[in-house]
């Protein structure tokens, strides 16, 4: 049952709160953010011309490109001295690229922590729980929020860092962790490790698992729930905002409840930008309502979902989004690390301009991307950068690793041996997980 | 209890309020602070029905009141304590108070007077004195007392600290807090930001007719932007230290 | 210009009717234009009126009607004077019957009892009335409120009593008989017909004179005084002097009419000059249209002839008269002629209506031209006078405010306030509500007198000078609520700013002497130049109500620059403007500073202040609590406390 009064706010009161905060955000964006000021001026739009949610549709969308284009200060609404934290949410790839750096004021920071706390409470995590947070903190900028929120909740935080699954399991046993927060890939890896070590799930004291930041495919959830015998929940965050906790599941598992008091959600058609009828799928467009340092107005997340505004059986009134169905762009995720095939292409071609074609082969297990192989093909016989073939492949591999943080296998093949690309640009997926019938743990 | 949405008000060609939205829930003290010229007085005039907004709506107890006559609004329970008191200086304290309860009739006045005297003992002492002869602080209390006589559901105070010495202001604020504890919902409009924030639950900051900041009063007390709303931007480049 | 669908014979089925309609509409619109804003001298309508008037005696056989018209003419003269008074001071006189009577009696006494020749009697009567009016006006016009009504009412009663009581001189209630007829040498006016031509010619001459007067620089000033007294003072208009002059002039009109009356009917009695007559003429003014010269004539015609027309209804005629009067006053309270005016204006196609078009686009263009470095051709302080921005204090700045204190009752509004202003400098005056900022501006511009202290401009202390003198010294001012005159067009508003640059008085204005016309032309040229600097040239003939707020503010600013001030006081210039419009205004202020102007700015929008102020002075409760650069002031703890209060830990 919801504890926070926010959770039981009537839709009317929620809309009032949203309108107030929306107008405040527009005012601040107009007066303090150069990017929005210029944009509004060029459209002859003043903040007071947006009186209702419908009026907001006159406002153009903000895209990921806008964020990279206006690095570093174009989207900041406060001076640096009011910022307490800066996060690189999307590193620049290659030497010419521009990263996305997001800032947080003290207020923003505590807001995100309280959102995460809300998610914990929604799932029944209390101060008696022991939360084990297992993320690669250097690659996932939002991971610390799990820590901070758990501390604020009063839940004891088990020692955690980027350590092996075996050690994680040992700590889990010794300190009797009750909640595990990690990526889907790592959770699967822990399951494998458990099976390899012959460990029984009963020897652990876990009572729920929280997975992020990527969307949680059903196959993954089923696998993990059957392996651990406890519920597994997903949450949602926008990569570019660098924080998880924007939406999360409740025990009813009927979708992810959005923090509607902090964000205004719209579902639009990915091509036309027009709002879709209620209940239909479309791209999620978000407007921050209280973000001080880095307000975003009508940001296209690139995630396709459906918004459900009806009441949830858990009693909370906040609208829900269904787990993300797919993306509008070509972004893929490997072990929780986002990747754009276009960026990989740029990197590859910056090393080897004579490169013909390439493919990304993503091996997935239970729906989660685990391993990336890159196949390149080159018809020109001219000199390979790096010298010989082995050095060339090593050069590519090292560049990718340095830029993205992923270890990959790079192979050179004949052009006609390149697998045919699927829906995602120059990418194919190969499933590693055994078919259900052969898996003793699959129900 | 009070919901203001997208309120825009103009005087002739001058736009004074630009899409202001805020709300006051039951049993809250909410403050609206801002420098002079921010539009606070216009906001209050519009709330009491003395001025009609060009856009937006005001709902009090779920009834739209932005096109209602002022006396109806008073009957609904939205009572204002005006800026600079605005008492009837040549009438006694008692007469002023009686006028406050005028719309509810003599019986109500009889019952309510002792309650007011309990809250403001000094008014009881001076009940036969002409209102114009009271000190500033006493006048303010009389003004509040008069408003209380009208059975307010929402008490709106327009710059109660204006023109009063700091010590008296303390007293007035104490009184407001007491009233709140006794169950009155309060909307406080002030220029004196810190004082108002100290006794409020939530607050909105108005700057040239717009809401630029809102939130819990305790948060706002530490916030840089409150000062910026009064004294302007104190930086030119974002990277300044 | 016509309401016709173009008088094209092929398209229009009835060209004759169309042509006639066009003819009348153009005539009438000419008349209406003369009553509205800034017409050229409208002699065509006058000629038409004259022609009609000359034709009437030819058409009328019965001399009784001529008598009626003669009475009408006399009334029209009195009404003319009264209307002039109301149009300019806005104050109403209920005592013009007294001046009418005084003109009649004094001339009668002089010519009959004292046996003076007629011209001498005439002059004597006029001089006496002028003196009496002068003595009456001086004390009463200094007072606030409608004290003139009370004073003139009382005056009328006293005069009537005097007429009745001073039997040896006036003949008492039985009247004064035997007044000689009007004659100049051999010519004598003995018949109604002769008198008709005489009086109406006299009236038309004075009518033309009055029309000229209202159309001139002085006339504009008079109308301005009516609309906004204090603002006119700050523009250099000597309001008190003009009010007195106008009162005396209006009394003279009435006295002239009295003179003509006395020597026409040759017998006068006190009853004719009692308050009832004053009320009657006032009613004619009101019905015709208060403040409208043509309206006065219309009202006179209507109300003088109405009783005659209604006579046949015998007993009912008083009732009908009252009903008609009430009807007019209820349905067109502004008067018949202005009502007709607005009706015709609505019928006219919007040929001149400003297509405000895209306001935002205009603001954009203004910003563009400001950014591309436009210049203002102003004869402000020559560049280089005084030191730039942060001049050393005590070096004798342009404007030196020393130790100014002012108290109202028990409240000390200003307490030993002092600072300096140099040319090429913007000093912003800020402070919480009630700090005394506008009060200080009022002290500087002479609208308020401080108890103590000096306001020194160029070594001369201006304390004690009336506002129009302060304006002449070189201090311009704008106001919080834009003080532009609603009854004038854009150009005329600006011309009011140029009032001090002209010298033509009442007489030359009425006669429209060549030098007056030259001066008027010169002023108009300069006004158009100034309008061009502010991009308002194409709106010159529009009524000011059609301007946007930004344009109105720019107009007010332009007007304050008309007499080349060296100090400009701006009271909340960007209040009510959106951010882009604010930018335009700020651009102009910056331009003015570059031209050498010293500017004191009172403003609430802190971001604007921080951007353009060279120095900021902070007032609280009448005292100066801080002074310095914007950055310094922003960080000054006293200032922060003054605005926000004390932070409670």
Q: How far apart are CA C158 and CA C319, in angstroms?
A: 31
Q: How far apart are alpha carbons B20 and B43 in whole angstroms?
A: 9
Terminal-to-terminal C-alpha distance of chain A: 31
Claim to verify: residue A342 and residue A434 sit in the same structural domain? yes
DSSP letter string, C494-551: HHHHTGGG----HHHHHHT-HHHHHHHHHHHHHHHHHHHHTT-GGGTTSBGGGS-HHH
Return the pLDDT at C130: 93
C480 touches chain B (CB under 8 A): no
Q: Are A27 and A156 found together in one domain?
A: yes
CB neighbours (10 Å) of residue C185? Answer: 5
Q: Are residues B42 and B160 in the same domain?
A: yes
CB contact under 8 A, B237 and A17: no
Residues A128 and A93 in one domain: yes
Q: Looking at chain A, which residue has its C-alpha nearest residue B22?
A: A20
Q: How far is CA A6 from CA A167, A237, B200, in A?
A: 39, 19, 20
On whether residue B2 sits in a domain, the answer given is: no
Residues C21, C162 within the same domain: no
Task: For residues B127 and A135, give the distance between their C-alpha atoms in angstroms, rounded to a whole number.
Answer: 72
CB distance C606–B198 less than 8 Å? Answer: no
Q: Is residue A209 part of a domain?
A: yes
Task: Round to whole Å and give the CA distance between B212 and A47.
Answer: 11
Distance from CA of B240 to the nearest CA of A (A): 7
Search chain B and give the residue with CA nearest A78: B238
Determine, yes or no, domain membership for A443.
no
Q: Is residue C251 part of a domain?
A: yes
Residue A233 has φ and ψ, to the nearest 5°, of -120, 150
Complete DSSP assignment for C413-426: EEEEEEEEE-TTEE
* Percent of chain C topping pLDDT 70: 86
SS3 C50: helix
Q: Is the pLDDT of residue A96 over 80?
A: no
Do residues C26 and C161 share a domain?
no
The answer as to whether B43 is a domain residue is: yes
* Same domain, yes or no: A260 and A408: no
C68 lies in the same domain as C6: no
pLDDT higher than 90, residue A29 = yes
Per-residue pLDDT reduced to its tens digit, A182-230:
888 888 888 888 888 888 888 888 999 999 888 888 888 998 999 899 9
- What's the DSSP call for residue B68? S
Contact B240 A79 (CB under 8 A): yes
**H helices then E strands: how many in chain A?**
10, 20
What angle in degrees, to the nearest 10, is found between the helix axes of A11-32 and A34-42?
A: 90
Q: Is residue C253 scored above 90 in pLDDT?
A: yes
**Residue A184: inside a domain, yes or no?**
yes
C548 near B CB under 8 A: yes
Cβ-defined contact of C578 to A44 (cutoff 8 Å):
no
Same-domain check for residues A405 and A369: yes
Confidence category of residue C359, pLDDT binned at 50, 70, 90: low
Residues A368 and A243 in one domain: no
Final residue before a domain boundary, out of A329, A345, A362: A329
- Residue B195: count other Cβ atoms within 10 Å of its Cβ: 25
Which residues in A have their CB inside 8 Å of a CB on C? 30-31, 41, 44, 46
End-to-end CA distance of chain B, in Å?
Answer: 43
Band of the pLDDT at C383, cuts 50, 70, 90? very low
State the Cα–Cα distance between residues C85 and C151, nearest whole angstrom: 15
Q: What pLDDT is stored for residue A159 in this prediction?
A: 67
Contacts of C572 in chain B (CB under 8 A): 37
Check whether A94 has a pLDDT greater than 70: no
User: Is residue B23 reached through a cis peptide bond, with omega within 30 degrees of 0 on the bond before it?
Assistant: no
- Tell me: the pLDDT tens digits for A263-273? 999 999 999 98
| Rounded Cα distance, A67 and A291, in Å | 15
Tell me, yes or no, whether B73 and B174 share the same domain. Answer: yes
Contact A368, A376 (CB under 8 A): no
Structural domain range at position C25: 1-35
Residues of B in contact with A82 (CB under 8 A): 224
CATH number of the domain residue A151 falls in: 3.40.50.12780
Query: Are residue B162 and residue B220 in the same domain, yes or no?
Result: yes
Residue B20 is assigned to a structural domain of this protein: no
Distance (Å) from the alpha carbon of A45 to chain C's nearest alpha carbon: 10
Nearest CA in chain C to B206: C605
Mean per-residue pLDDT for C250-273? 89
d(CA A396, CA A411): 10
DSSP A417: G
Q: Do A80 and A169 sit in the same domain of this protein?
A: yes
Q: Within an 8 Å CB–CB cutoff, is residue C578 touching chain A? A: yes
Do B97 and B186 fall within a single domain? Answer: no
CATH number at residue C483: 3.40.50.300
Question: Residue B198: inside a domain, yes or no?
Answer: yes
Higher pLDDT, C374 or A343: A343
Provide the CATH number for the domain around residue B208. 3.40.50.300
What range defines the domain where residue B34 resides?
25-51+69-77+152-232
Query: Same structural domain for residues C65 and C2?
Result: no
Candidate from A13, A79, A290 with C-beta closest to B235: A79
Is C168 found in the same domain as C113?
Answer: yes
Do B162 and B138 lie in a common domain? no
Interface of C with B in 595-614 (CB under 8 A): 604-607, 609-610
Nearest in space to B80 (alpha carbons), one of B187, B226, B168, B240 = B187
Of the candidates B151, B183, B203, which is a domain's last residue?
A: B151
CA–CA distance from C462 to each of C4, C414, C423, C483 (Å)?
59, 17, 18, 23
Q: Given C578, C631, C645, which is nearest B195 (Cβ)?
A: C645
Burial (CB < 10 A; 0-12, 13-18, 19+), residue C521, is: exposed
Statement to judge: residues C162 and C231 lie in one domain: yes
Q: In this structure, are C1 and C71 located in the same domain?
A: no
Residue C1 has pLDDT above 70, yes or no: no
Question: Which helix or strand (DSSP H or E) is residue A151 part of?
Answer: helix A143-153
Question: Given an 8 Å threshold on Cβ–Cβ distance, is C578 in contact with A46?
Answer: yes
**CB-based contact, C580 to chain A, within 8 Å:** yes
- Res A137 pLDDT > 80: no
Q: Chain B to chain C, count of Cβ pairs less than 8 Å apart?
A: 75
Residue A307: which pLDDT band, with cuts at 50, 70 and 90? very high
What is the rounded distance in angstroms from the CA atom of residue A257 to the CA atom of residue A115?
11
Helix/strand/coil for C574 = coil
- The band of C144, judged by pLDDT with boundaries at 50, 70 and 90, is low
Contact B195 C643 (CB under 8 A): no
Q: Is residue A65 part of a domain?
A: yes
Give the distance from residue C550's alpha carbon to the nearest chain A alpha carbon, in angstroms.
Answer: 17
* Shared-domain flag, residues A399 and A323: no
Instruction: Report whether C71 contacts C281 (CB < 8 A).
Output: no
- The radius of gyration of chain C from alpha carbons, rounded to an integer in Å, stands at 29
Q: Give the distance from residue C373's alpha carbon to the nearest chain A alpha carbon, in angstroms.
A: 21
Kindly state whether residue C284 falls inside one of the protein's structural domains. Answer: no
Nearest to B158 by CA among B8, B31, B37: B31
For residues B181 and B203, membership in a common domain is answered with: yes
Q: Is the pLDDT of residue C511 over 80?
A: no
Domains in chain C, number: 3
Residue A277, domain extent: 1-329
Subunits in contact with chain B (3 or more CB pairs closer than 8 Å): A, C
For residue A229, the 8-state DSSP code is: S
- Which of the listed residues C253, C274, C295 is the one where a domain comes to its end? C274
**Model confidence over B79-132: pLDDT tens digits?**
988 877 788 888 888 888 888 888 788 888 888 888 888 888 888 888 888 888
Domain closes at, from B151, B173, B205: B151
Residue B11 covered by a domain: no
Q: Are residues C18 and C105 in the same domain?
A: no
State the smallest CA–CA distance between residue C413 and chain A in angstroms: 35
Distance from CA of A81 to the nearest CA of B (A): 6
Nearest residue on chain C to B37, judged by CA atoms? C604
pLDDT of residue C16: 60
CA-to-CA separations, B235 to A37, A70, A102, C286, in angstroms, rounded: 17, 20, 20, 61
Contacts of C580 in chain A (CB under 8 A): 41
- Asked if the C-beta of B26 comes within 8 angstroms of chain A's C-beta atoms, the answer is no
pTM beyond 0.95, yes or no? no
Pairing of strands A263-268, A256-258: unpaired
Q: Are residues A316 and A338 in the same domain?
A: no
Quick check: A73 and B241 CB within 8 A?
A: no
Check whether residue B146 and residue B158 sit in a common domain: no
Confidence class for position B197, pLDDT limits 50, 70, 90: very high
User: Which of A52, A60, A69, A68 minimizes the C-alpha distance to A29?
Assistant: A60
The number of folded domains in chain B is 2
| Residue B55 host element (H or E) | strand B55-60
Say which residue, A8 or C125, is predicted with more confidence.
Answer: C125
Question: From the candidates B210, B213, B217, which should be mutated to test the interface with A, based on the most A CB atoms within 10 A?
Answer: B210
Closest partner residue to A82 (CB to CB) among B5, B219, B224 is B224
Neighbours of C347 (CB within 10 A): 10
- Tell me, yes or no, whether C244 and C389 share the same domain: no
d(CA A65, CA A50): 25
**Which has more confidence, A347 or C346?**
A347
Question: Is residue C531 domain-resident?
Answer: no
Rg, Å, chain B Cα set: 18
Band (pLDDT 50/70/90 cuts) for residue C385 is: very low
pLDDT tens, position by position, B125-155:
888 888 888 888 888 888 888 888 888 889 9
Kindly write down the DSSP assignment for every residue of A168-218, as one continuous string: HHHHHHHTT--EEEE-HHHHHHHHHHHHHHT--GGGS---EEEE-SS---H
Q: Does B186 touch chain A (CB under 8 A)?
A: no
Q: Do B13 and C644 touch (CB under 8 A)?
A: no
Buried-state track C588-606, b at ≥16 Cβ within 10 A, e below 16: bbebbbebbbbbbbbbbbb
Minimum CA–CA partner of B195 in chain C: C645
Question: SS3 for A331?
Answer: coil
Q: Is the pLDDT of residue C197 over 60?
A: yes
Which residues pair with residue A101 across a beta bridge? A88
pLDDT, residue C7, reads: 43
C360 touches chain A (CB under 8 A): yes
C353 within a domain of the structure (yes/no): no
Domain end: A329, A355, A375, which one? Answer: A329
With CA atoms as reference, the chain B residue closest to C606 would be B232
Rounded Cα gap, residues B66 and B4, in angstroms: 9
Judged by DSSP in three states, A440 sits in: coil
- Please say if the pLDDT value at position C372 is more than 80: no
Q: Are residues C25 and C49 in the same domain?
A: no
Map residue B78 onto helix, strand or coil: strand
The verdict on whether omega for the bond into residue A72 sits within 30 degrees of 0, i.e. cis, is: yes
Mutate to test the interface with A, among C579, C581, C606, C607 (most CBs of A within 10 A): C579
A32, A41, A49: best to mutate for the C interface, most C CBs within 10 A = A41
pLDDT in the model for residue A10: 85
CA distance B112 to chain C (A): 35
**B139 and B185 fall within a common domain:** no
Which chains form contacts with chain C, at 3 or more CB pairs under 8 Å?
A, B
A251 and A161 part of one domain? yes
Q: pLDDT, tens digit, for every residue of C590-641?
A: 988 888 889 999 988 888 898 899 999 999 888 999 999 998 998 898 888 8
In this model, does residue C313 exceed pLDDT 50? yes
pLDDT band at A287; cut points 50, 70, 90: very high
Beta strands A263-268 and A281-288 are antiparallel
Predicted pLDDT of residue A162: 65
Q: Do A168 and A43 lie in a common domain?
A: yes
> Do B141 and B160 share a structural domain?
no
- One domain for residues A3 and A81: yes
How far apart, in Å, are the Cα atoms of B29 and each of A24, B93, B168?
Answer: 20, 27, 20
Task: Report the interhelical angle of C217-227 vs C192-215 (nearest 10°).
Answer: 80
Q: Does B182 lie in the same domain as B73? A: yes
* Cβ separation C604–B16 shorter than 8 A: no
> pLDDT (tens digit, 9 = 90+) per residue, B40-78?
889 998 998 988 999 999 999 888 998 888 888 888 889
Give yes or no for residue C570 having a pLDDT over 50. Answer: yes
Residue ending a domain, choose from A281, A305, A329: A329
Q: What is the mean pLDDT of residues A381-397?
A: 81
Given a cut of 70, whether residue A253 has pLDDT beyond it is yes
For the cut 60, the answer to whether the pLDDT of residue C102 exceeds it is yes
Asked if residue C347 has pLDDT above 70, the reply is no
| C316 within domain boundaries | no
Does residue B115 form part of some domain? Answer: yes
Per-chain mean pLDDT for chain C: 80
Q: How many domains does chain A have?
A: 2
């Amino acid at each position: 049952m919801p504890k926070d009064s926010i959770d039981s706010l009537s839709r009317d009161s929620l809309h009032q709160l949203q309108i107030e905060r929306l107008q405040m955000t527009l005012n601040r964006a107009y007066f303090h953010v150069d990017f929005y000021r210029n944009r509004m001026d060029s459209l002859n739009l003043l903040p007071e011309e947006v009186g209702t949610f419908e009026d907001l549709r006159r406002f153009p969308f903000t895209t990921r490109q806008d964020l990279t284009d206006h690095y570093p200060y174009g989207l900041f609404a406060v001076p640096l001295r009011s910022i307490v934290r800066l996060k690189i949410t999307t590193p620049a790839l290659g030497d010419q690229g521009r990263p996305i750096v997001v800032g947080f004021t003290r207020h923003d920071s505590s807001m995100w922590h309280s959102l995460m706390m809300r998610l914990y409470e929604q799932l029944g995590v209390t101060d008696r729980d022991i939360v084990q947070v297992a993320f690669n903190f250097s690659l996932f900028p939002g991971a610390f929020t799990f820590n901070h929120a758990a501390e604020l909740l009063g839940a004891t935080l088990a020692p955690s860092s980027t350590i092996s699954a075996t050690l994680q399991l040992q700590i889990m046993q010794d300190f009797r962790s009750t909640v595990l927060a990690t990526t889907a890939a790592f959770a699967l890896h822990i399951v494998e490790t458990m099976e390899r070590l012959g460990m029984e799930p009963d020897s652990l004291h876990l009572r729920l698992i929280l997975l992020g930041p990527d969307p949680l495919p059903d196959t993954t959830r089923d696998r993990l729930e059957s392996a651990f015998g406890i519920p597994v929940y997903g949450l949602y965050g926008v990569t570019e905002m660098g924080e998880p906790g924007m939406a999360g599941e409740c025990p009813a598992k009927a979708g992810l409840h959005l923090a509607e008091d902090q964000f205004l959600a719209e579902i639009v058609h990915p091509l036309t930008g027009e709002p879709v009828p209620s209940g239909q799928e479309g791209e999620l467009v978000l407007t921050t309502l209280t973000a001080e340092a880095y307000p975003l107005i009508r940001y296209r997340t690139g995630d396709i979902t459906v918004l459900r505004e009806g009441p949830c059986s858990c009693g909370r009134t906040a609208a829900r989004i269904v787990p993300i169905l797919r993306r509008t762009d070509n972004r893929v995720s490997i072990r929780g690390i986002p990747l754009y095939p276009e960026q990989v292409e740029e990197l590859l071609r910056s090393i080897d301009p004579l490169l013909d074609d390439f493919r990304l082969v993503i091996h997935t297990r239970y729906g989660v991307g685990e391993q990336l192989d890159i196949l390149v093909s080159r018809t020109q016989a001219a000199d390979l950068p790096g010298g010989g073939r082995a050095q060339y492949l090593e050069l590519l591999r090292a560049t990718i690793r340095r830029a993205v943080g992923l270890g990959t296998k790079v192979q050179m093949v004949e052009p006609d041996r390149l697998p045919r690309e699927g829906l995602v640009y120059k990418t194919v997926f190969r499933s590693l997980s055994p078919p259900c019938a052969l898996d003793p743990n699959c129900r | 209890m009070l919901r203001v949405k997208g309120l825009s008000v103009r005087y002739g060609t001058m736009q004074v309020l630009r899409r202001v939205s805020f709300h006051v829930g039951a049993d809250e003290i909410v403050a609206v602070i801002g420098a002079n010229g921010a539009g606070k007085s216009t906001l209050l005039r519009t709330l009491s029905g003395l001025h009609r907004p060009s856009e937006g709506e005001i709902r009090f107890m779920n009834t739209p009141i932005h096109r209602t006559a002022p006396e109806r609004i008073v009957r609904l329970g939205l009572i204002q304590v005006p800026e600079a008191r605005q008492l009837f200086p040549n009438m006694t304290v008692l007469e002023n108070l009686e006028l406050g309860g005028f719309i509810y009739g003599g019986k109500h006045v009889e019952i309510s007077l002792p309650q007011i005297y309990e809250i403001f003992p000094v008014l009881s002492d001076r009940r036969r004195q002409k209102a114009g002869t009271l000190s500033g602080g006493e006048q303010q209390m009389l003004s509040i007392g008069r408003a209380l006589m009208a059975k307010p559901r929402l008490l709106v105070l327009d710059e109660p600290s204006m023109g009063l010495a700091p010590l008296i202001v303390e007293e007035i604020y104490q009184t407001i807090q007491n009233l709140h504890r006794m169950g009155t919902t309060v909307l406080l409009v002030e220029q004196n930001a810190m004082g108002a924030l100290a006794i409020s639950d939530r607050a909105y900051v108005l700057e040239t007719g717009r809401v630029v900041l809102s939130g819990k009063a305790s948060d706002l007390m530490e916030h840089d932007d409150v000062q910026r709303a009064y004294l302007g931007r104190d930086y030119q480049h974002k990277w300044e230290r | 210009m016509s309401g016709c669908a173009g008088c094209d014979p092929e398209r229009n089925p009835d060209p004759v009717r169309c042509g006639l309609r066009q003819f009348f509409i153009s005539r009438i619109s000419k008349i209406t234009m003369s009553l509205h804003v800034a017409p050229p001298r409208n002699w065509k309508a006058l000629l038409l009126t004259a022609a009609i008037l000359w034709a009437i005696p030819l058409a009328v056989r019965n001399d009784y009607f001529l008598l009626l018209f003669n009475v009408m003419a006399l009334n029209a003269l009195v009404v003319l004077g009264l209307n002039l008074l109301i149009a300019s001071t806005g104050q109403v006189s209920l005592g013009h019957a007294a001046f009418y009577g005084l003109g009649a009696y004094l001339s009668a006494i002089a010519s009959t009892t004292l046996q003076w020749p007629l011209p001498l009697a005439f002059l004597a009567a006029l001089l006496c009335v002028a003196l009496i009016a002068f003595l009456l006006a001086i004390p009463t016009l200094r007072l606030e409120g409608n004290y003139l009504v009370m004073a003139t009412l009382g005056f009328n009663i006293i005069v009537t009593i005097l007429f009745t009581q001073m039997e040896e001189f006036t003949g008492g209630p039985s009247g004064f008989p035997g007044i000689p007829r009007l004659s100049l040498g051999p010519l004598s006016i003995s018949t109604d017909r002769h008198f008709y031509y005489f009086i109406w010619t006299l009236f038309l001459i004075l009518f033309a004179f009055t029309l000229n007067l209202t159309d001139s620089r002085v006339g504009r000033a008079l109308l301005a005084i009516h609309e906004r007294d204090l603002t006119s003072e700050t523009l250099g208009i000597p309001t008190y002097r003009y009010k007195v002059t106008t009162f005396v002039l209006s009394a003279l009109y009435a006295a002239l009419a009295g003179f003509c009356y006395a020597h026409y009917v040759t017998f006068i009695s006190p009853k004719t000059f009692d308050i009832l007559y004053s009320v009657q003429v006032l009613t004619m003014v009101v019905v015709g249209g208060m403040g409208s010269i043509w309206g006065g004539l219309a009202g006179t015609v209507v109300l003088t002839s109405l009783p005659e027309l209604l006579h046949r209804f015998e007993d009912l005629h008083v009732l009908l008269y009252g009903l008609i009067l009430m009807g007019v006053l209820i349905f067109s309270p502004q008067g018949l002629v202005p009502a007709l005016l607005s009706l015709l204006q609505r019928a006219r196609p919007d040929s001149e209506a400003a297509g405000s078009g895209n306001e935002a686009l205009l603001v954009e263009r203004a910003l563009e031209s400001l950014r591309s470095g436009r210049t203002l051709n102003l004869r402000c302080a020559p560049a280089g006078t005084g030191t730039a921005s942060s001049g050393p204090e005590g070096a004798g700045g342009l404007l030196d405010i020393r130790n100014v204190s002012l108290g109202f009752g028990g409240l000390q509004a200003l307490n030993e306030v002092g600072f300096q202003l140099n040319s090429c400098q913007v000093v912003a005056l800020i402070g919480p509500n009630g700090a005394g900022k506008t009060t200080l501006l009022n002290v500087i511009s002479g609208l308020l007198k401080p108890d103590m202290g000096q306001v020194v401009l160029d070594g001369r202390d201006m304390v004690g000078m009336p506002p129009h003198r302060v304006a002449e010294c070189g201090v311009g001012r704008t106001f919080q609520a834009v003080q532009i005159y609603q009854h004038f067009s854009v150009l005329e508003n600006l011309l009011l700013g140029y009032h001090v640059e002209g010298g033509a008085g009442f007489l030359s204005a009425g006669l429209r002497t060549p030098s007056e016309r030259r001066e008027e032309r010169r002023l108009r040229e300069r006004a158009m130049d100034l309008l061009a600097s502010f991009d308002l040239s194409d709106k010159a003939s529009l009524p000011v109500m059609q301007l946007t707020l930004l344009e109105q503010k720019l107009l007010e600013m332009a007007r304050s620059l008309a007499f080349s001030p060296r100090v400009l006081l701006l009271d909340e210039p960007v209040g009510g403007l959106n951010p882009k419009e604010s930018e335009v205004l700020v651009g102009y202020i910056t331009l003015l500073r570059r031209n050498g102007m010293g500017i004191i700015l009172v403003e609430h929008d802190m971001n604007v202040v921080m951007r353009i102020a060279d120095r900021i002075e902070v007032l609280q409760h009448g005292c100066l609590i801080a002074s310095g650069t914007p950055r310094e002031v922003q960080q000054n703890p006293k200032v922060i406390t003054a605005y926000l209060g004390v932070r409670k830990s």
